[in-house]
């Protein structure tokens, strides 16, 4: 009896599963390729239409985490736009990128999302994001795009004559240094590489007070720019990071390491903030967002650090990145999504990037606002942002080519080989340039 009952219910279960899966087996075409092609790309050039009148819901993805400047905007935005409801979802940085990859290729993308500008080469070359220039009718909150941003920032958000992102916070590299130690030892803040070498030598003691650098493209490219070189030729057709300027630049970086006054921050050193706190690091190069990190993670060091332009050999230079707000082409609510981006880009809301996240707002008007340009007691009572604003004038985004990841990997690998002493600077960069050139030619 019992057995039969169990068997019977099993049959029912299987039957149910079979019937619910029957619709599945009629679907095999869906996951297979042809269906995918009708996804986002087909809907690409969407013409601007009228503002949404009926009620709509837009999904917003945000990777800022705890100190997000975006979440506080939702309530007031919904109050100001009663017909638009926001479905707000927060993820960490890694998850955001992975989810974006999946939903852009096979699902429903969000209507607005934060993107790291280093993701742009991949997405932009595949036409993943809507042209904001067309949606906006040429202006952001009534200001023409070219007047809203600096030239470097405008270059960073432009691809194939389209504006593919609204730069929300920006990232350029300046020199963070232990002003207390500089003062104690009577060292002048370096402006040239020679002075940097002298300062690093004067600072360093035993296992402490190093110039910290990462063997990656962010830091490597800065040396190259400062020595008058570039990563790719202006037409993005030739890899030139093994030019004499580039080799000279990386050789200088390497000489800091060889002199024993610099430290290569490999993964087994832990987070950099650890070294900042325990005194291993006395100088490093990074972006404005790191000011926020230092304030929240190392509050006890207030007054010991300052920010300056990174020392140069021939000219100033830095990578330019940050966070962009984008609308995926697959969004069905582009008008409402644009409304939200425009709201987030209003000057007073842009200031929130600084007051909430401690990062640097990207809009020119916000950068020059008094709220942002306050004397910062943490950084010796100076206006640290003015340094990064000045850096932005000469900063340049990574080239927007489809195979950027391969080029980035090749260069990073060369930087690691040099730091390990496996290859000479020339050998490592030559080999990497060859690999990168092959990728670029694809």
Partner 1 sequence: MTAIPLPLPRRVTRSVKKYAIPYLFIAVPVISLIVFLLIPMVASLWWSLNDYSGLQPPKFVGLNNYIQLFTNDKIFGKGLVNTTVFVLLGMSIGPTLGLLTALMLNQKVRFRSFYRTAYYLPVMTSLVVVSTIWLMLYNRNGLINTVLQTFGVAKVGWLSSPHVALISIVIASVWQGFGFETVVFLAALQSIPRELYEAAMIDGAGGGAQFRYITLPSLRPVIVFVYIIGIIGSYQVFDQIYVMSSGGPVYSTTTIVYYLFTKFMDLRLGYASAIAYVLFAILVVFSYIQMRISRERA
Partner 2 sequence: MSVQPKTFRNSSKRIILYVVLVGSSILMMIPFYWSVVTSLKLEKFVFTSPPQWIPNPLVWVNYIHVLTKMPFARYFANSVFVALAVTLAHVFFDTLAAYAFAKLKFPGRDQIFFVMLLALMVPFQVNLIPLYKIMAAFHWTNTYLALIIPNLTSIFGIFLMRQFLMTIPNELLDAARIDGCSEFGVFRKVVLPLALPGIATLIIFTFMGTWNDFLWPRIVINSEKLFTLPVGLALLQMKNTSNEAQIMAGTVLTALPMIIVFLFMQRQFIEGMTAGALKG
Q: Note the residues at the interface with partner 2 (CB under 8 A).
A: 3-4, 6-7, 10, 23-24, 27, 30-31, 35-36, 65-66, 89-95, 98-99, 102-103, 105-108, 270-274, 277-278, 290, 293, 296-297
Of the pair 25, 50, the CB lying nearest partner 2 is at 25
CB of 106 to partner 2, least distance (A): 4
Instruction: Give CA–CA dist 298/301, Å, rounded.
Output: 6
Contact partner, 399, from partner 2, partner 1, none, Cβ < 5-8 Å per class: none
Per CB under 8 A, the list member of 1, 4, 32, 142 interacting with partner 1 is: 32
Contact partner, 11, from partner 2, partner 1, none, Cβ < 5-8 Å per class: partner 1
Half-sphere exposure for 435 (CA within 13 Å, toward CB): 17
Contact partner, 91, from partner 1, partner 2, none, Cβ < 5-8 Å per class: partner 2
Is residue 405 a contact residue for partner 1 (CB under 8 A)?
A: yes
User: Is there a contact between 400 and 124 (Cβ–Cβ < 8 Å)?
Assistant: yes
CB of 304 to partner 1, least distance (A): 21
CB of 360 to partner 2, least distance (A): 15
Instruction: Give CA–CA dist 206/257, Å, rounded.
Output: 14
Cα-trace Rg, the chain? 25
Of the pair 75, 89, the CB lying nearest partner 2 is at 89
* Region near partner 1 per CB under 8 A, out of 28-36, 46-54, 170-178, 343-351: 28-36
Looking at the DSSP assignment, which residues form a beta bridge with residue 175? 285, 308
Token representation of residue 245: 């300027």
Is residue 26 a contact residue for partner 1 (CB under 8 A)?
A: no
Q: Which of 214, 213, 206 is nearest to 279 (CA)?
A: 206
CB of 409 to partner 1, least distance (A): 8
Site size for partner 1 (CB under 8 A): 44
Contact partner, 16, from partner 2, partner 1, none, Cβ < 5-8 Å per class: none
Q: Are strands 166-171 and 321-326 parallel, antiparallel or unpaired?
A: antiparallel
Contact partner, 417, from partner 1, partner 2, none, Cβ < 5-8 Å per class: partner 1
Q: What are phi and psi of 214, to 5 degrees?
A: -105, 135
Per CB under 8 A, the list member of 332, 386, 416, 437 interacting with partner 1 is: 416
Kindly write out the interface string for residues 93-122 of this chain, putting x where it contacts partner 1 by CB under 8 A and - elsewhere. ----xx--x--xxx---------------x
* Region near partner 1 per CB under 8 A, out of 173-181, 281-289, 291-299, 410-418: 410-418
| Distances 5 to 1, 268, 425 between C-alpha atoms, Å | 6, 60, 76
- Report the 10 Å Cβ neighbour count for 208: 14
Q: Are strands 281-286 and 174-178 parallel, antiparallel or unpaired?
A: antiparallel
CB of 20 to partner 1, least distance (A): 10
Token representation of residue 244: 């004499």
Token representation of residue 146: 């070219």
Kindly write out the interface string for residues 254-283 of this chain, putting x where it contacts partner 1 by CB under 8 A and - elsewhere. ------------xxxxx-------------
Is residue 206 a contact residue for partner 1 (CB under 8 A)?
A: no
User: Is there a contact between 178 and 301 (Cβ–Cβ < 8 Å)?
Assistant: no
Contact partner, 76, from partner 2, partner 1, none, Cβ < 5-8 Å per class: none
Is residue 127 a contact residue for partner 1 (CB under 8 A)?
A: yes
Contact partner, 49, from partner 2, partner 1, none, Cβ < 5-8 Å per class: none
Of the pair 180, 406, the CB lying nearest partner 1 is at 406
Contact partner, 19, from partner 1, partner 2, none, Cβ < 5-8 Å per class: none
Query: Residue 358 — left, alpha, or beta (φ > 0 → left; ψ -120 to 50 → alpha)?
Result: left
Contact partner, 72, from partner 1, partner 2, none, Cβ < 5-8 Å per class: none
Per CB under 8 A, the list member of 41, 238, 332, 437 interacting with partner 1 is: 41
Per CB under 8 A, the list member of 8, 9, 11, 65 interacting with partner 1 is: 11
User: Is there a contact between 354 and 361 (Cβ–Cβ < 8 Å)?
Assistant: yes
Residues near partner 1 (CB under 8 A): 10-11, 13-14, 17-18, 21, 24-25, 28, 31-33, 36-37, 39-41, 97-98, 101, 104-106, 122-123, 126-128, 266-270, 405-406, 409, 413, 416-417, 420, 422, 435, 438
């Amino acid at each position: 009896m019992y057995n039969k009952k169990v068997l019977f219910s099993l049959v029912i279960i299987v039957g149910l599963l079979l019937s619910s899966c029957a619709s599945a087996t009629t679907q095999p075409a869906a996951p297979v390729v042809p269906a995918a092609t009708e996804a986002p790309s087909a809907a690409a050039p969407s013409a601007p239409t009228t503002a949404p009148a009926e009620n709509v819901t837009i999904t917003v993805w945000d990777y800022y985490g705890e100190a997000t400047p975006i979440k506080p905007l939702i309530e007031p935005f919904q109050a100001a736009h009663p017909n638009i409801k926001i479905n707000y979802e927060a993820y960490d940085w890694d998850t955001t990128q992975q989810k974006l990859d999946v939903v852009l290729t096979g699902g429903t993308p969000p209507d607005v999302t934060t993107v790291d500008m280093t993701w742009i080469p991949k997405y932009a070359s595949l036409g993943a994001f809507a042209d904001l220039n067309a949606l906006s009718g040429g202006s952001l909150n009534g200001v023409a795009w070219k007047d809203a941003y600096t030239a470097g920032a405008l270059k960073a958000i432009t691809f194939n004559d389209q504006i593919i992102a609204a730069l929300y916070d920006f990232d350029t590299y300046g020199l963070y240094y232990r002003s207390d130690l500089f003062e104690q030892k009577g060292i002048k803040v370096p402006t040239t590489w020679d002075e940097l070498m002298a300062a690093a030598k004067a600072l360093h003691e035993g296992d402490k007070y190093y110039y910290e650098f990462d063997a990656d493209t962010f830091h490597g490219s800065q040396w190259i720019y400062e020595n008058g070189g570039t990563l790719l030729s202006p037409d993005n057709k030739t890899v030139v990071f093994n030019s004499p300027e580039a080799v000279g630049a990386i050789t200088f970086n390497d000489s800091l390491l060889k002199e024993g006054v610099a430290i290569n921050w490999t993964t087994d050193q832990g987070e950099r903030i650890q070294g900042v706190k325990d005194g291993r690091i006395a100088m490093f190069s990074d972006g404005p967002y790191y000011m926020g990190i230092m304030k929240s993670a190392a509050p006890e060091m207030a007054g010991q650090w300052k920010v300056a332009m990174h020392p140069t050999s021939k000219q100033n230079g830095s990578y330019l990145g940050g966070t962009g707000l984008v609308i995926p082409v697959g969004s069905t609510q582009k008008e409402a999504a644009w409304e939200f981006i425009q709201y987030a880009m209003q000057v007073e809301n842009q200031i929130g990037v600084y007051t909430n996240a401690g990062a640097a707002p990207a809009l020119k008007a916000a950068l020059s606002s008094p709220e942002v340009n306050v004397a910062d007691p943490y950084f010796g009572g100076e206006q640290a942002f003015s340094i990064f604003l000045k850096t932005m004038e000469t900063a340049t985004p990574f080239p927007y080519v489809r195979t950027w990841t391969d080029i980035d990997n090749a260069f990073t690998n060369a930087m690691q080989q040099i730091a390990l002493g496996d290859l000479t600077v020339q050998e490592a960069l030559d080999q990497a340039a060859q690999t990168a050139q092959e990728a670029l030619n694809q």
